[in-house]
């Protein structure tokens, strides 16, 4: 049984870190100008996809450990998804990238509440901290560095 749990954790970590790679690719393409505005566009769509997924993990935590986490986590995660969806529709992609960075920060803060409540373990929290910092850095780079700045 322990071996299966370790295998699942390894898979979870591999998928999490792999999911961060498109952020690196998008930021790299943006700052070099490769792909023109499509780099930022695609990165923002990827960010939205991952934000929805991360909000879903909070729903999963609520389902598995309802006595440990507040239903407010669900409401807050929905607000993040709806706000970032509006960012895709109404603001330029470089500005949307900054809103996505904020969204990832909020979801990380919500995940920390779940870790502190014992609904998830510290290893998950550590992994989320690392990946979230990386993702936020990539999105902020897209938001503040002009396209093709080093191209």
pLDDT tens profile 1-30:
344 467 888 998 999 999 999 999 999 999
CB 100 within 8 A of CB 44: yes
- Length of the chain as a residue count: 151
Domain assignment of residue 32, yes or no = yes
Domain assignment of residue 151, yes or no = no
pLDDT at 1 (0 to 100) = 36
Q: 21-30, 86-95, 140-149: which range is least confident on average? A: 86-95
Domain assignment of residue 74, yes or no = yes
- Band of residue 74 on the pLDDT scale cut at 50, 70, 90: confident
pLDDT at 121 (0 to 100) = 87
- pLDDT for 100-124, tens place per residue? 999 999 999 999 999 999 998 889 8
- H or E element: which one contains 72? helix 72-90
Which DSSP letter does residue 1 get?
A: -
Domain with 58 in it: 2-144
**What percentage of the chain has pLDDT greater than the value 70?**
97
pTM for this predicted structure:
0.91
Q: How many domains does the chain have?
A: 1
Domain assignment of residue 149, yes or no = no
Asked if residue 84 has pLDDT above 80, the reply is yes
């Amino acid at each position: 049984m322990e071996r299966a749990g370790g295998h699942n954790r390894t898979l979870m970590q591999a998928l999490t870190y792999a999911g961060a790679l498109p952020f690196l690719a998008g930021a790299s393409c943006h700052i070099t100008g490769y792909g023109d505005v499509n780099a930022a566009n695609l990165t923002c769509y990827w960010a939205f996809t991952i934000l929805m997924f991360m909000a879903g993990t909070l729903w999963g935590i609520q389902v598995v450990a309802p006595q440990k986490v507040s239903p407010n986590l669900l409401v807050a995660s929905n607000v993040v998804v709806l706000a970032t969806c509006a960012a895709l529709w109404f603001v330029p992609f470089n500005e949307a990238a900054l809103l996505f960075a904020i969204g990832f920060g909020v979801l990380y803060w919500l995940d920390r509440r779940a870790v502190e409540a014992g609904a998830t373990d510290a290893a998950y929290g550590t992994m989320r901290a690392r990946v979230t910092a990386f993702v936020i850095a990539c999105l902020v780079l897209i938001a503040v560095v002009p396209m093709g700045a080093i191209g």
